[in-house]
Structure formats: structure tokens, C-alpha cells
Amino acid sequence: MSLAPRQLPASRKLVLASAQDRRAIENSAIEHLVRFIDPGVPDITLFRNTFPLLAIAFSNETEAALKTTLASIRRLKTIPEISLLRLDQGNSERDFALIQALLSGGVGQLASFSASIASELTLLRREREALLENYRALEDAFQAKNWEPLTEAFAHDPYVDPKDEGIGQLLSKSFIDQLLPVSSHGVAGIALHMNFVPKSAGELCVTLSYVESDETIMEWIVDYKNLVAEWNYFSLSRACGGSAQTLRLRVSTSGSETIGLSLGYPIASERYTIRSETEHPDLDMRPLAFRVYTGVPGVAPVLTPNMIAPTDVSDAPRIQNYHLPVDLLKQTADVSVRTVIPDFETVNFLEHENALMCHPVPGGITAGAISGALEAGTVSVSVSAIIDHPEGRPAAVSILLAPANEDPRPRVEEAGRSGSNSPSSVFSGWRKVGPGNPVNINIQLDEPLPGPMNLVVLSGAIGDSVDFSWLKISDFRIAKQAVSLAGRGKTHVQQ
């Protein structure tokens, strides 16, 4: 019985072997599956059309050479562990037949499938990088136009009339409606003012809908414990888009105690006064005390203090992108590790550029630690670096993450050792930067940070000279998961 089923395409290599063993493998049943490696050269180009599952050797010398290559592949952590088989030339034909039968069967098909997934993943990563760059360009365009991400479009301030009875009892038995005197286009959230919030259990129900179609846009069901006796911000998951329509706000409550929902100053237009199916003396020509906020249509609004997420959005996390605050950059601490202390300042904050200067020096690593820069939930960090002098010498630059409660100097020293250039989940790897074009350095995390961490920027000298090597690091961008806690209108507070 033959052990040789159909052959896999010759373009897919599944076996690694040393070029010194080429003569023993030529014209064999597995020759079309073998990628030959030059001795002692762990060349990354071998992965082109290659998904190695097995390595074979016929001598101690070729076995040692392959072990070196496999060790370099293992550090990349992109493919499964590769087994190394030592074969005897006297039984090579039988061994070749067994290997060919194994790899041309289910294992080979699985390898082909895995290789296809790996190729598609690479394409997806490239598309993701292009998408992030497009978002970055769009954000830069917004900043260049001085467009605010969230602006107040209308406001009715709270007003207390001495004759007011309060509409708390009305809210617990019925509801009130308030038409908003703004177009729906771009509306990203509203704010309601409370003059009193009970400590007992209860809920406030707020519904935003279109008048023309009676379609509900968003609903917020909020526990009293998540409200404050001031302005409370109710955020839409995305700013309203489409054609301009009229918006209606409906408010009601439930609970043993009444809530102090504030009213505004009396107005002349009856259309924009609050209405209810139940008569009440305080409803006479009075609107609610409310504010309306607008943003970019179809885009999720930024977070604000006491922001309340809608109850009809999913629990899936959305990504919040922001720049590091200037106050944090100003507090950058010098945590350099070097043998000679220079007579000039190497880490300092550039006041008018919102950037850090991190001047490299020979014989060590210049580093600045931004304490508490990264909050829990952070998924990526990105910075831009350039030598800010036309005659500046090139330097090496990187960033790393350090625990908030530890001295970052041991990690800085480890990053400066030779052979530590491989990027990781907490280290970007070293990049060369010169005076020509800025380079982007980033860290992408597989999982969101469970707690706060420090961000450390590092620079090192490439040659003997660091003349005019004014390394400027700016554009500190953070991406963080902002989880919408649906169901009970929980708040998200951004300091």
C-alpha cells in the first residue's frame, strides 16, 4: 500500500533543513516541501511561502545549525513550536515517505489553513494601521479648523420661584414633555439640572424622541444614587445625523421620594414650555432647566463629568482617544540611567509646544517618566519624535510602560542593554530618529491595562557625538476603552 497521497503545492514549504543536507534530500518524496537554510543564518526571508512544522537533520553539525535557526524563530512567537528530527541516511527513503504522508494529509491541510489565516491577519493589521492613520489625519483636520468635539448649543438656566411647589409629585404619577428649540442634526447630549436628589431608592426615566416620526432615539433609566444635585449630563451613543427634525424630551420618575427637577425662567413661547397630561400650577409658561450639546453627526461624543450612558446601548466597549494633559507632561521626572552626569538639563518640558525634550548622552540612557499617564483600560500609546535641529545628530528613541508603584530605572537599564530591541507589550523597541522626518512610536496592548501605569520616554546615542541632538517627543495620544454600563444609567466621570 502506498503511503504517498496527493502532493501539496510546491509553493508551500513545511519542512526546514540545512543547505548542507541538500544532497540527501534532493529527488526525494519531500523535496518539494523543504526550505533549505544556509548554516548559521537565521534569515527572516525564509517565512515567505513557508509555514514550517518540522525540521530535519542528518548530522551533528546540521542539527546544531538548525537549533540556532529555530531559537531565533521561537523568539518571534508567530508560529507553533517546531520539532527537530534527526534522520539516518540509511533509512531516509522510508522516513521521507512517512513525513510526506503525514504532511500531505490532515496536518498539511491544517498548515495551509493556518498559513492563510496568518496572511489575512497581516493584511488586516495593515488595514488597521491605515485606518488609524486616517483617523489621526481627521482629528488633525478638526484641530486645524478649531472645531470643538462637543459644544453647548442652547441653555435654559434654573430659576426658583418662591411660589413653586415643585413637580416631584407630578413626575412620580405622570410625565412631562419638553420640546427642544434646536434642530436634531448633530445633537450629542442633553443636561438636566437637579436641585435635590433623594437618598432613597428610585429611578429617573428620560426619553429623547423625534416629534415627526415618534421614533425613540435614546432612553436613560438612572438610579437616584447616580445623580447629583447639579447638572447631570445624558450622552447619546452617537450624535444625531440625517435630516433635521424636532426633538422631544420626556421625563418621569419612580420611587418613594420625589426628586427636585429644576425649572427655568418663564418664557413667552407656549410651544417650548413643559407639558403634562396632568395639570399643575408650576407648569404655567415654564420650561425645564436644560442644556443641549452638539457634536459631529454620527460620531460618538467625548466624555464629560457626570456623563450618563444611555440604557439602550450594548455593553461592548468603545474606544476613547485623547491627548495626555499638559499638567501631566509638566510633572515628568528624570529617571535617566547613565555613567556620566552631563552639565546640561537632558529632560525638560517645552512650555509652548506641549512636548518633552529628551536629549541623549553617550554612555547611558536618558529617560523621563510621566507618572500616572496611563489609566486602567488603556489599549494603545502613540508618540511622535524628531531631532529638532537641522544639524542634530541622529539618536535612538523608544517608550515603555512601568508599574505606577515601582522605580522605573531598572526597566530603563534593561531597555538599554544590547539585544533588547525586540518590542513587547510594554516596550516599543528602539527606533532611529533624525532631523528630517518625525517617526511614530507606539505600543499596542493585547488586553486593556488592569490598572494605572507610568509612561517612560527613552533616548540613547547612536554614535560618539550627540551635538544638537535635541530630541523632541510630542503628540502623546492614548486610546482607552470606555465601557458603556447599560441598564441602570451608570455614570462615567472623566477628571
Domain boundaries along the sequence of the chain: 1-146, 151-316, 326-481
Side chain identity at residue 466, one-letter code: V
Non-local (6+) Cβ contacts of 83 within 8 A are 53, 54, 55
Q: Which amino acid is residue 33, in one-letter code?
A: L
Q: Is 169 helix (H, G, I), strand (E, B) or coil?
A: helix
The CA distance from 234 to 309, in Å, is 6
* Grid-cell match 416620526, residue found: 213
Query: Strand 347-350 to strand 491-492: parallel, antiparallel, or no bridges (unpaired)?
Result: unpaired
- Give the C-alpha separation, 168 to 165, whole Å: 9
Q: Which pLDDT score is estimated for 232?
A: 92
Please give the full DSSP string across 243-298, using - where no structure is assigned.
Answer: S--EEEEEEEEEESS--EE-BB---S-GGGS-B-SS--GGGTT--B-EEEEE-STT
**What b/e sequence results for 164-181 when a residue is b if at least 16 CB atoms lie within 10 Å of its CB, and e otherwise?**
eebbbebbbeebbbbbbb
| Dihedrals phi, psi of 197, to nearest 5 degrees | -125, 120
What is the pTM (predicted TM-score) of this model?
0.43
SS3 content of the chain, % helix, strand, coil (to 5): 25, 35, 40
Closest of 206, 221, 204 to residue 255, by C-alpha: 204
Q: How is the beta sheet containing 216-223 ordered, strand by strand?
A: 176-183, 246-255, 202-210, 216-223
Residue-by-residue pLDDT tens, the chain, 495 positions: 333 344 444 457 888 888 888 888 888 888 888 888 887 665 555 566 777 778 889 988 888 888 888 887 777 666 778 888 888 877 777 888 888 777 776 665 666 677 677 778 878 888 888 887 777 777 666 655 555 567 888 999 998 888 888 888 888 888 899 999 999 988 999 999 999 898 888 889 999 999 988 888 989 999 888 898 999 999 888 888 878 899 999 999 887 788 889 999 988 888 899 998 888 888 888 899 999 998 877 777 765 656 787 775 444 455 667 788 888 899 999 999 987 788 888 899 998 888 999 999 888 899 999 998 998 888 889 899 999 898 899 999 999 999 988 899 999 988 887 556 677 778 988 899 999 888 888 888 888 898 899 999 999 998 888 888 999 999 898 888 754 443 344 444 333
How far apart CA 332 and CA 371 sit, in angstroms, is 7
Which residues have C-beta within 8 Å of that of residue 45, sequence separation ≥ 6?
none
H/E stretch holding 411: helix 409-416
- First and final CA of the chain: distance in angstroms? 74
Query: What is the predicted pLDDT for the residue at 65?
Result: 84
| CATH placement of domain 326-481 | 2.60.120.260
**d(Cα 258, Cα 166) in Å, to the nearest integer?**
9
In whole angstroms, give the CA distance from residue 383 to residue 172: 52
Helices 92-103/106-144 angle, 10° precision: 50
Question: Phi and psi for 350 in degrees, rounded to 5?
Answer: -90, 105
Query: Does the CA dihedral 168-170-175-177 come out positive or negative?
Result: negative
Alpha-carbon distance of 347 to 333, in angstroms, equals 8
Residue burial 288-299, b: 16+ Cβ < 10 Å; e: rest: bbbbbbbbbeee
Phi, psi dihedrals of residue 32, rounded to the nearest 5°: -75, -10
Are 386 and 432 spatial neighbours (Cβ–Cβ below 8 Å)?
no
Give the separation between CA 46 and CA 361, rounded to whole angstroms.
Answer: 38
What is the pLDDT at residue 1?
Answer: 34
How many Cα atoms occupy the beta-carbon half-sphere of 374 within 13 Å?
Answer: 33
In contact, 274 and 287? CB cutoff 8 Å: yes
Cβ atoms within 10 Å, residue 89: 12
State the DSSP code for 409.
H
